[in-house]
Amino acid sequence: MKHIVITGAGPIGLYTAIMLKKKGVENVTVIDPRANNYTRPGYLNQNIAGEIAKSLGEAINFPPESNRHIKDVERALYNIAEKYGVNIQQRKFSGFTPGGMEVTDTLGETVFLPCDLALDCTGARRVLVHEVNREIPENPFPIESLFEKPEHHFIAYVKVNSEDIEMLNTLSAKLDKQYDDIANINHVLALEKLRTEFGWPYFSEPYLQFKEMGKNKICFYFEIPPNLPATQHKAWLQALLKMKRLMRKACWPFQQ
Ligand SMILES: Cc1cc2nc3c(=O)[nH]c(=O)nc-3n(C[C@H](O)[C@H](O)[C@H](O)COP(=O)(O)OP(=O)(O)OC[C@H]3O[C@@H](n4cnc5c(N)ncnc54)[C@H](O)[C@@H]3O)c2cc1C
């Protein structure tokens, strides 16, 4: 029986391993130094558990009160993969060798791992694909971007007290109704402040989105000026939020 090695124990690597096992492939190994150490906070579509459960024919057990983070899916898939007997190793792919690959463990020791078929599930890194392209001069797997990455976008998870969360939610609900001439003037003044104090180069308002992420936590996703030093990131977010508040004339004592 062929030995399949999947590089990457993120959602796709684990899902693929489970599906191979379900199809009767005996020898499935997954390698990833991050395996079973899942901490990613990325927020998920609420339907994801149902979708995965339906396609795998397995119950997906999220912890109670979970906010459906990527780490919850990874942990659930890891448990299912273990149940199906997938061999999961905390090792990193380092290169191909005849009959297999070299993998490095968490102590830095490199060993040979036999492999008949290698699957690249390293996400955007595409570690194996790059390695094949490096080894074979014809560059068999050319990689092209589907779209230009947005520049200067930033994500911040911020602890916020419950009163401020309530204010934020009220604020976003009232956006259209409260916009008037005074708000317009405030908008221009606040935007000018962002331009002069932080070097925001545009005349349009920076993009800002926020979403509640569990108890007293908000995820802000926003644009920042190019080359803004890290020491100014917090002040930038505060200024951005202040601008939103001025525009809406809301009484909003947001301090964080
Ligand atoms: C900044 C950012 C924020 C995101 N936020 C969200 C979000 O909020 N919600 C959402 O749904 N999606 C989000 N995404 C997208 C989501 O992370 C991906 O769609 C998803 O993780 C892809 O899963 P994957 O299994 O293909 O790859 P990944 O999850 O990237 O897994 C790849 C795995 O390969 C491993 N690996 C890498 N190199 C090696 C190697 N040499 N040897 C062995 N293993 C290796 C890595 O450790 C990793 O575990 C975000 C992505 C980014 C970059």
Per-residue pLDDT of the chain (256 residues; tens, 9 = 90+): 789 999 999 999 999 999 999 999 999 999 999 999 999 877 787 788 888 889 999 888 776 656 678 898 999 999 999 999 999 999 999 999 999 999 999 999 999 999 999 999 999 999 999 999 999 999 999 988 887 777 788 888 888 888 778 777 766 655 554 555 666 677 788 889 899 999 999 988 898 888 887 778 888 999 999 989 999 999 999 888 888 776 655 444 443 3
Could you give the CA distance from residue 41 to residue 64 in angstroms, rounded to a whole number?
A: 16
The pTM is what? 0.77
Which has the closest alpha carbon to 207: 219, 190, 220, 189? 220
Could you give the CA distance from residue 96 to residue 111 in angstroms, rounded to a whole number?
A: 12
Q: Which of 5, 32, 36 to mutate to test the pocket of ligand 1 (most atoms within 8 A of CB)?
A: 32
Asked whether 223 and 149 are in contact (CB, 8 A), the reply is no
Q: Retrieve residue 239's tokens.
A: 């200024």
Whose tokens are 């090695």? That residue is 5
Domains of the chain: 4-135 (3.50.50.60), 153-248 (no CATH)
Asked whether 128 and 118 are in contact (CB, 8 A), the reply is yes
CA–centroid distance, 245 to ligand 1, in Å, is: 35
The protein residue with its alpha carbon nearest to ligand 1, atom 11, reads: 44
CA–centroid distance, 13 to ligand 1, in Å, is: 10
Could you give the CA distance from residue 36 to residue 96 in angstroms, rounded to a whole number?
A: 24
The protein residue with its alpha carbon nearest to ligand 1, atom 49, reads: 10
